[in-house]
């Protein structure tokens, strides 16, 4: 009874779509009928030849992984393509659960690695014999960038001007806002003039 229901579950979603199912109700009823069949007539399901089930899986697998899909994933870059291919290889080599788990771990690794890269750009110019540093934040700045940003701010020399531009940010982590606000308070001691654009100040004294 074990192999038959597992095979049915694997192809259930694709079979439902191929049959024209488009709504949540179709997915529910399809799963319900499958569950009823497994509970009430398992002896009939076990009479289905494994060769027939293998053929169904091969056809369904091909329909789910057409060459066009691989080309599309490749066009998204190797960081998208590599976890995709490794997941498929591990699924075929082991089983579905292990393959999906490995794929998720790989995806998480690339997400964390992407967040660790510097989400800002520093440009240095001169204005009337004064060093001007423009720190432009990118679209998303998370707490993972906290250490690198703090190091970059600490390297600003005395008697300089620092402009921090966050106008193009979709998200700035609160920890980053705290670092910037704290730096702005301490910059006066080093005679650094700080200008914030598109960045919300937070109350440091209320935190510490």
Domain-wise residue ranges, the chain: 1-64, 66-116, 120-197
Phi, psi of 82 (to 5 degrees): -60, -50
Count H helices and E strands in the chain, helices first: 9, 6
Over its C-alpha atoms, the chain yields an Rg (Å, rounded) of 28
Mean pLDDT across the stretch 95-104?
81
Mean pLDDT across the stretch 123-150?
83
Whose tokens are 């008697």? That residue is 159
More confident residue, 203 or 88: 88
- Per the rule left: phi > 0, alpha: psi between -120 and 50, beta: everything else, 77 is left
Phi, psi of 122 (to 5 degrees): -105, 130
pTM, two decimal places = 0.45
Instruction: Please report the pLDDT score of residue 113 as a whole number.
Output: 67
Instruction: Give Cβ neighbours of residue 50 (< 8 Å, ≥ 6 apart).
Output: 3
Q: How confident is the model at residue 106 (pLDDT cuts 50, 70, 90)?
A: confident
Q: How confident is the model at residue 162 (pLDDT cuts 50, 70, 90)?
A: very high
Contact 180, 150 (CB under 8 A): no
Instruction: Give Cβ neighbours of residue 123 (< 8 Å, ≥ 6 apart).
Output: 133, 134, 136
Instruction: Please report the pLDDT score of residue 204 as a whole number.
Output: 62
Contact 121, 136 (CB under 8 A): yes
The proportion of the chain whose per-residue pLDDT surpasses 70, expressed as a percent, equals: 81
Structure tokens at 207: 């935190």
Residue 116 pLDDT > 60: no
CATH fold group of domain 120-197? Transcription Regulator spoIIAA (3.30.750)
Mean pLDDT across the stretch 145-171?
86
Structure tokens at 66: 């057409």
For residue 17, the surrounding DSSP H or E stretch is helix 3-18
């Amino acid at each position: 009874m074990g192999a038959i229901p597992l095979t049915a579950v694997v192809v259930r979603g694709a079979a439902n779509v191929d049959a024209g199912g488009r709504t949540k109700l179709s997915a529910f009823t399809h799963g319900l009928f499958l569950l009823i069949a497994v509970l009430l007539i398992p002896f009939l399901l076990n009479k289905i030849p494994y060769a027939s089930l293998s053929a169904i899986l091969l056809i369904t697998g091909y329909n789910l992984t057409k060459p066009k899909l691989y080309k599309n994933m490749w066009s998204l870059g190797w960081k998208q393509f590599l976890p995709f291919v490794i997941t498929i290889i591990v699924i075929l080599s082991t089983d579905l659960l292990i393959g999906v788990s490995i794929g998720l771990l790989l995806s998480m690794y690339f997400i964390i690695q992407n967040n660790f890269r510097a989400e800002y750009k520093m440009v240095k110019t001169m204005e009337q014999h004064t060093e001007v540093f423009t720190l432009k934040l990118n679209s998303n700045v998370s707490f993972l960038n906290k250490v690198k940003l703090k190091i970059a701010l600490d390297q600003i020399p005395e008697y300089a001007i620092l402009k921090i531009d966050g106008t193009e940010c979709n998200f700035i982590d609160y920890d980053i806002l705290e670092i910037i606000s704290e730096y702005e308070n301490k910059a006066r001691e080093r005679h650094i003039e700080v200008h914030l654009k598109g960045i919300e100040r937070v109350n440091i004294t209320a935190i510490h």
